[in-house]
Amino acid sequence: MPPQKKATFLIKNIGQLITMDGPVPRVGNQMKELGLIEDGGIAAAGEEILAVGKSDEIEGKVDLAEGCRFVDAHGGVVTPGLIDPHTHPVFAKTREAEFEMRIEGKSYMEIAAAGGGIRSSVRDLRETPAAELTVRTANRLNTLLSYGVTTIEAKSGYGLSTESEIKTLQIIKNLNETHPIDLIPTFLGAHEVPDEYREDRETYIEILINEMIPRVASEKLAEFCDIFCEEGVFDIEESRRIMTTAKNHGLKLKFHADELASTGGAELASELGAVSADHLVYISDTGIEAMAESGTVAVLLPGTSFSLAGNYAPARKLIDRGATVALSTDCNPGSSFTESLPLMITLAALQYRMTAAESLSAVTVNAACALDRGGKIGQLKPGLPADIALWNMSDYRELPYHYGINLVRIVIKRGKIVCG
């Protein structure tokens, strides 16, 4: 019989311990269930959680290792480390000039048609050395971490050539090995049609199908394949071809869907068994029904709607129908330049009418499901990774209410303090 594990890390005097123990995923009214323990405690052995319970009982549940680290929460809130399931963190330059153009009345699509938008970031990334991109991306990861995020999905998509997409995915791979945040890689070569193929988009699609996807899959550089399925980018039939190829090469699927118009992207994502469909601002009732039935996770991105001063996804309809709903920053240089997942919780409260409990489900348990890791991360229970955020607040409902500042006190990744 193996020796009993001993606690190497102990947090006591937790005012509200949000374990998220319970259903995976959370749907409907289940999203309000937090697995909350008042006056809680949590013990970890190395990288994994050993025990949770009442603060005055937690030491009686475990043996303490010599040198066990003790943290006094002083009545604060503890949650699982947050999960951001839709980010574009690898880019060279910011696009504040385009932000100002939108303020002055230009639309996102007008800016893109004039050579801005994604294509602008593509030109910049291709010209920037990998070492410089790595430093800039690591700085963004540091900011995400400081806001309590311990796992992200990280997309390519600003290369749009085999060489530059591979460069981006290699940066993601290297950072995943060196940075405290776990980065789950997604290939997004179908983010846009690059400048050199604007008049020959079919050739670019053939490169995606016959060159990029097979190489990414064979070199195991990505777990997921994503596509911008949208009017003016990749239509439904093009998306079907590209994503069927990705699926046949063993990549799991994600979709940018129904962001700018109702095009049937949610329905296609559900049909192909995608793990998630994201944005969904203009999702149809048929699409909502399809996602609820298929289990494809709806990843909503309120920061994008906020930054573009646009419409917001029908979150309440998705929740009420029983779809799995997650939230994300959509951190990117064009339409949502933010690393603050807590800010997304505030926007979800005000624009989606989601409660604090529903939003916490959406950035933990359900966000894990959006990364095909449901039941493996996003909860504080014995045997799972000790990914933990300790907050400077006594009531979890303060999270959306006290906005615009960082309420995180300490971030723990795999049982070690990595921020705070």
| 312, two tokens | 């917001």
- Residue 217 CB coordination number (10 Å): 18
pLDDT attached to residue 109: 79
| Contact by Cβ (8 Å): 157, 145 | no
Question: What DSSP designation does 31 have?
Answer: G
| 10-residue mean pLDDT series, the chain (420 residues) | 84 98 98 98 98 96 95 98 99 95 88 86 97 98 98 98 98 98 98 95 98 98 98 95 98 98 98 98 98 98 96 98 98 97 98 98 99 98 98 98 97 97
Kindly write down the DSSP assignment for every residue of 225-242, as one continuous string. EEEEESTTSB-HHHHHHH
pLDDT attached to residue 123: 96
Distance CA 80, CA 149 (A): 9
Residue recorded with tokens 């809680």: 40
DSSP three-state, residue 134: helix
For the entire predicted model, the pTM comes to 0.98
- Stretch (H or E) spanning 59: helix 58-61
Identify the structural domains of the chain with CATH numbers, from first to last: 6-80+379-419 (2.30.40.10), 82-370 (3.20.20.140)
Non-local (6+) Cβ contacts of 68 within 8 A are 6, 7, 8, 9, 10
- Residue 175 CB coordination number (10 Å): 19
Distance CA 151, CA 141 (A): 10
pLDDT attached to residue 232: 87
pLDDT attached to residue 1: 54
